[in-house]
A and B are shown apart, each in its own frame.
Chain A
Amino acid sequence: MKHLRYLLLGAYFGIVLTKSEVTTWHKIRAMFYFREPDLYLIIGLGVVVGSICVWFVRRSKPTTPFGEPVVVQPKPMHKGVFFGSFLFGIGWFIAGTCPGPIYAQLGGGEFFAVFTLIGAIIGAYAFALLKPKLPD
């Protein structure tokens, strides 16, 4: 099954997120209050390694084991990049988690993360409602 690989890749990501502790409220607070540099360093090194991966993909244009072409998609410039991200940042601070770690918290047995996930789904619904009226 072609989708199984995404479950396994997600599991890899989930293990690394959890073991790096970016899934904990305390680490997020420590980042926003500049009490420790860990999260900035994790994101920074993640981007360094990620950009080597992207450089390799752009240079060698590989295909997956299933024969699909590997493409790095462009991120379009739009106003939501500024406004939406700003709101997300506030939520990140309040809930002490960003999207990936919500799922990690749930899998790790932190059942109060259900509230964060439900909030996020309601947030997506509110966006669907308001999308025609928001600057894009």
Chain B
Amino acid sequence: MGFLLDPWPWWISGPLIGLTVGLLLLIGARNLGVSSSFRHLCAMALPKSRLPYLAQDNLKEQAWNLFFVGGIALGAFVAVHFLSRNPVEFLPAHYHTLTGALKLLGGGFLIGFGTRWARGCTSGHAIMGLSSFQKPSLYAVLSFFGGGLLAAAVAKFLIGGGP
């Protein structure tokens, strides 16, 4: 069973990620999605906001999503501490700097703004949306790969390798 402690190959992890769609539907009656959690966290941080997007967020109905993302953190803790032979390097050392923190803030801003505008991310559009053959999700996936690949090309052109 030692192989479990190494990174799992794509042909194991891909199907297991897809299986999340079925488990969440059959056990939880919910459609896989993560990025709406940003809306809920923002609405919780600003309970008195009059902005309709925050004031109209039904936290009671959507609480499941916060339990789900909390579970993701819990699962990652288990994976790192009990299911890994070697330390997991999430971010490279050069991101543990002030510049790195600013990149993460800026990148995070685009992630939050973009996924809320699109009403979905890699989980909601790529995995759940494509799995249920939804055309808007196909456009979303093409568009976010377009944005990412363009950013990669620009970074390579400007600084040869990317920030």
Point out residues on A near B: beta carbons under 8 Å.
Answer: 3-26, 29, 32-33, 37-39, 41-54, 56-57, 62-66, 68-78, 80-110, 112-113, 115-129, 131, 134
Enumerate chain B residues within 8 angstroms of A16, measured Cβ to Cβ.
8, 13, 16-17, 20, 75
Q: Does A47 lie within 8 Å of B127, measured CB to CB?
A: yes
Enumerate chain B residues within 8 angstroms of A8, measured Cβ to Cβ.
71
The total of chain B residues at the interface (CB under 8 A) is: 120
Enumerate chain A residues within 8 angstroms of B18, measured Cβ to Cβ.
45-53
Closest to B64 in A: A6
| Minimal beta-carbon separation of B129 from chain A (angstroms) | 5
Q: Does A119 lie within 8 Å of B79, measured CB to CB?
A: no
Q: List 29 A-B contacts (CB under 8 A).
A: A10-B75, A20-B10, A20-B14, A43-B126, A43-B127, A46-B18, A49-B17, A50-B131, A54-B22, A54-B131, A69-B29, A72-B132, A75-B136, A81-B143, A84-B119, A84-B140, A86-B114, A86-B147, A89-B150, A91-B114, A94-B106, A97-B111, A104-B75, A104-B90, A112-B96, A112-B100, A116-B104, A123-B112, A128-B39
| Minimal beta-carbon separation of A9 from chain B (angstroms) | 5
Enumerate chain A residues within 8 angstroms of B119, measured Cβ to Cβ.
75-76, 78, 80-81, 84
Kindly state the separation between the CA atoms of A34 and B130 in the bound complex, as whole angstroms.
22
Q: Does B8 lie within 8 Å of A20, measured CB to CB?
A: yes
**Does B28 lie at the interface of the complex (its beta carbon under 8 Å from any beta carbon of A)?**
yes
| Minimal beta-carbon separation of A129 from chain B (angstroms) | 6
Kindly state the separation between the CA atoms of A46 and B148 in the bound complex, as whole angstroms.
20
The majority secondary structure among interface residues of chain A is helix
Q: Does B134 lie within 8 Å of A75, measured CB to CB?
A: yes
Enumerate chain B residues within 8 angstroms of A14, measured Cβ to Cβ.
71-79
Q: Does B128 lie within 8 Å of A91, measured CB to CB?
A: no
| Minimal beta-carbon separation of A63 from chain B (angstroms) | 8
| Minimal beta-carbon separation of A126 from chain B (angstroms) | 5
Indicate whether A89 sits within 8 Å of B72 (C-beta atoms), given known contacts A3-B67, A6-B67, A80-B117.
no
**Does B152 lie at the interface of the complex (its beta carbon under 8 Å from any beta carbon of A)?**
yes
Scan residues 95-146 of chain B and give those whose CB is less than 8 A from a CB of chain A.
95-96, 100-137, 139-141, 143-146
Closest 6 CB pairs of A and B: A10-B71, A119-B108, A14-B75, A89-B147, A123-B112, A84-B117
Closest to A96 in B: B91
| Minimal beta-carbon separation of A93 from chain B (angstroms) | 4
Kindly state the separation between the CA atoms of A19 and B16 in the bound complex, as whole angstroms.
11
